[in-house]
Amino acid sequence: MSISSEIHKIKSEIPDKVTLIAVSKTYEEPCLEDAYEAGQRIFGESKPQEMLRKYNALEKDILWHMIGHLQTNKVKYIAPFVSLIHSVDSVKLLTEINKQAFKNNRVIDVLLEVYVAQEDTKSGFTEGEIIKFLDSKQLEQLQNINIKGLMCIGSLTDSKEQTEREFRQVKTFFDKIKQDYLPKFDTLSMGMSEDYMLAIECGSTMIRVGSRIFGARNYK
Ligand SMILES: *Cc1c(COP(=O)(O)O)cnc(C)c1O
């Protein structure tokens, strides 16, 4: 299957209100151009310098989403143009994004990454840490960020039951934050190539799909 037919197929499967992020990390520019030709305008990358390189090379109406773990010293590379940062996993990183957004005279949209997976290697806030942060009123000092919602990466597992349990848990937490703290919450980034339909059933509004569109990745 070609990149364009995969994109059309996925878009035909998912509801209109769900946003498809084409996860293009590790793929070269011609692959992104094929996706662009097929109408795709939102791309997800996991490395700041790689995102910057592609941003400079490709069409300017592309929206660039950072989905990978972001180090504070690399925020500056993407702050001028990044459209949404999904993977915010510490208050320190939020503070740095706010600072770089201010320098660039803009407000940067972000999602808070929630830790749900069983593996200890995964990053993210626990639910308790997010509540503590929101109760602390630190957010009032961060005028140049806009928290739009939550993101999660499920456990690497073949168990559909476990994945579903994790997705439902994050959706419940999302609803609670929206009700009690941030009524403007509208984005729940959840689901990848293997589980995006399940994620949508569980309330996802944004899916991050890479290998299903571009083929198996070659990690260098
Ligand atoms: C790589 C990646 C994806 C896409 O994974 P696929 O299985 O190729 O669809 C989604 N989300 C994050 C955070 C990733 O790092």
* pLDDT-based confidence at residue 103 (cuts at 50, 70, 90): very high
- Assess whether the C-beta atom of 83 lies below 6 angstroms from ligand 1: no
Query: What mean pLDDT comes out for the span 121-129?
Result: 87
pLDDT of 51 strictly over 80: yes
Q: What is the pLDDT of residue 173?
A: 98
Nearest protein Cα to ligand 1, atom 15 = 68
Residue holding tokens 């950072």?
Answer: 66
| Strands in 75-162 per DSSP E | 84-88, 108-114, 145-152
For 135, residues 6+ apart whose C-beta sits below 8 A from its C-beta are none
Residue to substitute in 113, 121, 208 for testing ligand 1 pocket (most ligand atoms within 8 angstroms of CB): 208
* pLDDT-based confidence at residue 110 (cuts at 50, 70, 90): very high
* pTM score, whole prediction: 0.96
CA of 209 to the centre of ligand 1 (A): 6
For 54, residues 6+ apart whose C-beta sits below 8 A from its C-beta are 24, 29, 32, 43, 45, 64
- Assess whether the C-beta atom of 67 lies below 6 angstroms from ligand 1: yes
CA of 21 to the centre of ligand 1 (A): 10
Q: How far is CA 60 from CA 31, 41, 56, in A?
A: 16, 10, 8
d(CA 205, CA 151): 10
* pLDDT-based confidence at residue 161 (cuts at 50, 70, 90): very high
CA of 98 to the centre of ligand 1 (A): 25
Mark out the alpha helices in 20-141 (DSSP H runs). 29-37, 48-57, 75-78, 91-103, 127-135
Query: What mean pLDDT comes out for the span 65-93?
Result: 97
Query: Which ligand 1 atom lies nearest to the CA of residue 212?
Result: 9
Q: What is the pLDDT of residue 116?
A: 87
Q: What is the pLDDT of residue 98?
A: 98
Q: What is the pLDDT of residue 121?
A: 62
What is the average pLDDT score of the chain? 95
Nearest protein Cα to ligand 1, atom 12 = 67
Query: What mean pLDDT comes out for the span 150-160?
Result: 90
Q: What is the pLDDT of residues 131-140, one digit of tens each?
A: 999 999 899 9
Q: What is the pLDDT of residue 218?
A: 72
pLDDT of 220 strictly over 60: no
- Assess whether the C-beta atom of 147 lies below 6 angstroms from ligand 1: no
